[in-house]
Structure 1
Amino acid sequence: MATVTDAAEARRDPRRWWALGALVASMLVLAFDSTILNVALPTMAGQLGATTGQQQWMMDAYIVVFAALMLPAGLLGDRFGRRLMLIAGLGVFLAGSVLGSLAGDVNTVIAARAVMGIGGALIMPLSLSVLPALFGPDERGKAVAMISAASALGMPLGPLVGGWLLNHFWWGSVFLVNLPMAAIGITACVFLLPETRDPASPKVDPVSTALTATGLGALIYAIIEAPDRGWTDALVLAMVAAAAALLTCLVLRERRMTRPMLDMGLLGRRGFLLNTVAATLVMFVLSGLMFAVPTYLQAVLGHDAFGTGLRLLPMMGGLMVAAKGAQAAVARFGARAVVSAGLVVLAFAALLGSRTAVDSGYGFTALWLALAGLGFGFSVVPAMDGALGALPADRAGSGSGLLSTFRQVGGAIGVALLGSLLAGAFRDRLDVTGLPGPVAHTARESVVAAHVVAGKVHSAHLAASANGAFVHGLALVLLVCGVASLLSALLAALLLPDVPAVRRTERKETPAVAAPAADA
């Protein structure tokens, strides 16, 4: 076990900034992939015949596996070495990308995304859990901001590169492009990242892992299937009941364990809990928007994939500006004020976007997307830094895994719930009068499918109705996002601990359980 002096010396090691470069490369892989698929979904839906529900599963297969395995992944890194498990995660992510690039149907794509979720589950929490061992309280905010900036940089690169690939190659190329990105991440980890571990961390519990995966899977399945089947359908109700029972069993089991995998005690720490809730709600809104907006830009406004990537840049630019300025804002105004203000800006952007009409044009969209990016950055960066800063050093792995799990669950529910709201609103508003039953059913599956049908039957009315129905659904999604952000801002202003960055740097350093060891 490392002493306080060892930890302090490790944190003064200039190699820690090179190590951060390895973590940045790893996070860049995840951010790049998350947005490249958002842009590809409309194209994939058209070529694979994917319904809105199947598109949601292409997104959520990754997120559900990701969320279910992040806790055990963080513990595996604590026990066997965070660098080793991070490299393994990048390798699994690379393998899933190869499978996705070779897929010929929707089910194979969903399976590939699940494999990529396993890799992502190792990458995300281990990248975060290394930070407390590498950086003291005075530098951790800067490190978190740099990782957030890497995620922000990967987000616009994904649509741009993905759009260019889709315009020149087949849709599987959006998976194949992950190979060099993952290879760069693996190389950076091997040569730049020192090994850290905590052999005293809790063991991975297979039963708790299974309860997490099945419980989340049942919940997401119910939300995605509800628009088609109805919320009173027997299968949907059974899935909701099963999810509630499985997740309740998980909590009860973990509370009885001496060394739980799901460390519920961390949720008793006010700073960790409230910052985690804030970051989770931001992820809920972000994931829902990134699912709906690219389809609006392509199917309704008529831009190609590369043009869609370009038109997402205002949002990514706002996010990068905010990620860079968040630390200075927290130092001056305090974390509570910055997080609350960021959520208010996000709420205003979403409510403004909910006024979108079919003929609004891109200029209006660019305005509220840029504001949304600013809101995201100013709320999520200090919230994540506050959550990590509230963790004791000997629980960095399990705590960062818990933080990442909640954020990914928020993302999965955002895609499922907001995507289902969008699908239901589109289906209810679409006018299919005069179409044969099977053709009408196909048109209701998604706005992309409706445009395909409209082209085949030469119906300008159906195409116009599809655009109007989708914009109506988008407005409802944005309205929900705005209300959720306003409520989150109110909770943050009332309850979030207010610890300015200046005061955090004056704290005594806590003993680090795992100081960086020499390179293996």
Structure 2
Amino acid sequence: MSIPSGPPAAASQVPEAIHRRRWAILVVLMFSLLIVVLDNSILNVAVKTIASPAPTGLGATQSELEWAINSYTLVFAGLLFTAGLLGDRIGRKKVLLFGILLFGIGSALAAMSGSPGELITWRAVMGFGAAFVMPATLAILMNVFERDEQPKAIGIWAGSVGLAIAIGPITGGLLLEHFWWGSIFLVNVPVVIVALIAMVVLVPDSRDPKPGRIDPLGVVLSIVGLVLLVFGIIRGGELADFADPLVLLSIIGGLVVLAGFVWHEKRSSHPAIDVSYFRNGAFSAAVAAVALVFFALMGVTFFSAFYLQSVRGYSALQSGLLIVPLAAAQMIFAPRARLVVQRFGARAVCAVGMLLVSAGLLAFTLFDADTPVWVLCVVFFVQGTGMAHVMPPVTVAVMQALPREKAGSGSAINNTFRQVGGALGIAVLGSVLSTVYRGDIEGHLGALPAPARDAAGESIEATLGVAEKLGPAGRPLVAAANDAFLGAMHVTAVGSASVALIGALVVGLFLPGRPPEEQPAGEGEAEGERTVPAGGPMTTTAADS
């Protein structure tokens, strides 16, 4: 009879000193992730204030507002993969410390911006720092928890995103009611200081013990390809025209460069990422699900802010409070998603989760200017419940498909697909919203001078701005703007729900089904550790242990 290999094998993966403080480390990682996600959710409720003339705001135009968001997205998405690779090579703790420090510096500078151009620049710096934070948190998590505890830890990690979604808009609303617009960025600085101290004290360093030679060509190709692709997507959404020559050139160029990256990686003796992982159906389905769910959700998140504030007339704080049910559902269900997966399998759980997301998105087609608040709360709760049963299982599928020493690369892949999917959602669904809105509102702008007519047709905010200048004569235009926006929102919601349905189909076909009913003790852990090279994937310094 052989000796059970489960517990001893598991115990050998993480040093005992690190294993004892793993939950404290998770709290620090959640803290780091929290401020990155929280900052974007705060900005969503502040766009209207920043668009106001000085001294209230910066007087940013619609295009400048979009680039205040998009400059962050562009840099973040372009560097995610490279940041994950660097973490695997030079140490994930070092990368995390660098990223959070740079994010804090960028936040302080963004708070002091004197023009929209400066804000766009410092937001790009924040995106640079965040690109090094996001993959490092998940990679460190995979290296301080044993395989059997990873699904639970990832569920809690994902739940912290829900917490950020909840407190971001509320914090933003409170700050905007009592302070100037720059306070939404300055609030990051003390949080960053606390996070840096906690990281130095608690978080261990880890890296790939056998990283091999650096693949500079692969790194350059990944950055250039992702930046071109994301820029083309963003620009197409900004223009509401994906046939524009610059947009087509950027998107096609990005896809060609990324195809070259894949071709190079398949033939390289020291690839930055082993593309053969994508031959695994569960792995590919998981990263596709991440992209599709964020494509669907980010587009709706973008227009829901305008629906709540412009059509419904809620303040930034009230709009933030209405998002609480979505975040609460994620915080409640995400840490427990693993238990449902153990019983029903990732395929069924993720498919039902995607269907819930789709149902929540489709419910937006029923919203009008007088929809009861409790209906909005129920719909947001359903969306959050669906997300909570999709993101943890697919993240586990991505991360456990790769050897532990490649955790940085796996986290980067997961986050890159999420970011590109989200950028596509905002760009494509945003352009649909803009096109349908402009088509509906143009018939009500005939009495305006030509320059004012063009400006008023850009967005509901622009139309309402013109209507306000007209005084009592502008009231019919306000009603027309609300009707046009609601019609455009309904069309966009159908598109979002359709994308989520495609995601349900993908995970239903390719994710693994229900796990076996019974398994001999230790067998699962032995099987789970086969991909980990002998000698242990984690290297730590004496100080860290």
TM-score by length of 2: 0.89
1:5 is displaced (CA, Å) by: 5.7
Relative to 1, partners in 2 of residues 1:514 and 1:95: Cα closer, same or farther, differing over 3 Å? same
The answer (yes or no) to whether the contact 2:299–2:429 under 8 Å persists in 1 is yes
Cα deviations across residues 107-127 of structure 1 (Å, max 9, x unaligned)?
Answer: 222222211111111111111
Alignment partners' CA distance in 1, 2:475 and 2:222: 47
**In structure 1, which of residues 433, 437, 457 is the aligned counterpart of residue 450 of structure 2?**
437
Is 1:276 paired with 2:300?
Answer: no
Relative to 1, partners in 2 of residues 1:244 and 1:441: Cα closer, same or farther, differing over 3 Å? same
Q: What is the correspondence of 1:113-124 to structure 2 with a 5 Å cutoff?
A: 113-124=123-134
Q: What is the correspondence of 1:384-399 to structure 2 with a 5 Å cutoff?
A: 384-399=395-410
Alignment partners' CA distance in 1, 2:291 and 2:464: 35
1:342 is displaced (CA, Å) by: 0.4
Is 1:320 paired with 2:331?
Answer: yes
Relative to 1, partners in 2 of residues 1:87 and 1:8: Cα closer, same or farther, differing over 3 Å? closer
Alignment partners' CA distance in 1, 2:202 and 2:476: 59
1:148 is displaced (CA, Å) by: 1.0
Is 1:450 paired with 2:463?
Answer: yes
Cα deviations across residues 237-259 of structure 1 (Å, max 9, x unaligned)?
Answer: 33333223332232223333222
Is 1:383 paired with 2:398?
Answer: no
1:9 is displaced (CA, Å) by: 4.3
**In structure 2, which of residues 262, 265, 276 is the aligned counterpart of residue 251 of structure 1?**
262
1:65 aligned partner: 75
1:370 aligned partner: 381
Relative to 1, partners in 2 of residues 1:437 and 1:49: Cα closer, same or farther, differing over 3 Å? farther
- Paired AA for residue 91 in structure 2: G
**In structure 1, which of residues 201, 215, 223 is the aligned counterpart of residue 211 of structure 2?**
201
Alignment partners' CA distance in 1, 2:523 and 2:182: 47
Cα deviations across residues 130-189 of structure 1 (Å, max 9, x unaligned)?
Answer: 122211121001110111111111111110010111112221111111112222221221
1:26 aligned partner: 32
1:493 aligned partner: 508
1:297 aligned partner: 308
1:44 aligned partner: 50
Is 1:467 paired with 2:467?
Answer: no
2:157 aligned partner: 147
1:67 is displaced (CA, Å) by: 1.7
Cα deviations across residues 422-479 of structure 1 (Å, max 9, x unaligned)?
Answer: 2222222213121111111221222222211110012012212222222222222211
The number of aligned residues is 518
Relative to 1, partners in 2 of residues 1:225 and 1:150: Cα closer, same or farther, differing over 3 Å? closer
The answer (yes or no) to whether the contact 1:198–1:394 under 8 Å persists in 2 is yes
SS of 2:513's equivalent in the other structure is coil
Alignment partners' CA distance in 1, 2:478 and 2:214: 52
The answer (yes or no) to whether the contact 1:100–1:172 under 8 Å persists in 2 is yes
1:138 aligned partner: 148
2:139 aligned partner: 129
1:319 is displaced (CA, Å) by: 1.9
1:106 aligned partner: 116
Alignment partners' CA distance in 2, 1:371 and 1:11: 41
Q: Identify which range, 110-119 or 227-236, moves more after superposition.
A: 227-236
2:4 aligned partner: none
Q: Identify which range, 39-48 or 228-237, moves more after superposition.
A: 228-237
Cα RMSD (Å): 2.3
- Paired AA for residue 387 in structure 2: F
Q: Mind listing any 5+ residue stretches in structure 2 that lack a counterpart? A: 1-8
1:400 is displaced (CA, Å) by: 1.7
The answer (yes or no) to whether the contact 1:75–1:202 under 8 Å persists in 2 is no
The answer (yes or no) to whether the contact 2:14–2:538 under 8 Å persists in 1 is no
Q: Identify which range, 462-471 or 154-163, moves more after superposition.
A: 462-471
SS of 1:258's equivalent in the other structure is coil
Q: Identify which range, 59-68 or 155-164, moves more after superposition.
A: 59-68
Alignment partners' CA distance in 2, 1:71 and 1:500: 31
2:178 aligned partner: 168
The answer (yes or no) to whether the contact 2:344–2:513 under 8 Å persists in 1 is no
Q: Identify which range, 497-506 or 338-347, moves more after superposition.
A: 497-506
Cα deviations across residues 499-520 of structure 1 (Å, max 9, x unaligned)?
Answer: 6498798231524411544435
Relative to 1, partners in 2 of residues 1:205 and 1:110: Cα closer, same or farther, differing over 3 Å? farther
Relative to 1, partners in 2 of residues 1:8 and 1:206: Cα closer, same or farther, differing over 3 Å? closer
Alignment partners' CA distance in 2, 1:175 and 1:393: 35
- Paired AA for residue 359 in structure 1: D
Relative to 1, partners in 2 of residues 1:412 and 1:110: Cα closer, same or farther, differing over 3 Å? same
1:490 is displaced (CA, Å) by: 1.7
The answer (yes or no) to whether the contact 1:63–1:411 under 8 Å persists in 2 is no
**In structure 1, which of residues 180, 184, 199 is the aligned counterpart of residue 194 of structure 2?**
184
Q: Mind listing any 5+ residue stretches in structure 1 that lack a counterpart? A: none
- Paired AA for residue 29 in structure 1: I
Cα deviations across residues 36-94 of structure 1 (Å, max 9, x unaligned)?
Answer: 11111222233444444443332222122112111211121122211111011100111
- Paired AA for residue 36 in structure 1: I
The answer (yes or no) to whether the contact 1:25–1:188 under 8 Å persists in 2 is no
Alignment partners' CA distance in 2, 1:70 and 1:37: 21
- Identity over the aligned pairs, expressed in percent? 35
Cα deviations across residues 176-222 of structure 1 (Å, max 9, x unaligned)?
Answer: 11112222221221111111122422555454444334433333443
1:506 aligned partner: 524
The answer (yes or no) to whether the contact 2:93–2:204 under 8 Å persists in 1 is yes
- Paired AA for residue 204 in structure 2: P
Q: Which structure would you say has the larger Rg?
A: 2
1:7 is displaced (CA, Å) by: 1.5
2:493 aligned partner: 478
2:543 aligned partner: 519
Is 1:15 paired with 2:21?
Answer: yes
1:346 aligned partner: 357
Is 1:355 paired with 2:371?
Answer: no
Relative to 1, partners in 2 of residues 1:236 and 1:396: Cα closer, same or farther, differing over 3 Å? closer
Alignment partners' CA distance in 2, 1:330 and 1:285: 23
1:324 is displaced (CA, Å) by: 3.0
Q: Identify which range, 165-174 or 228-237, moves more after superposition.
A: 228-237
1:6 is displaced (CA, Å) by: 3.7
2:98 aligned partner: 88
Alignment partners' CA distance in 2, 1:500 and 1:50: 53
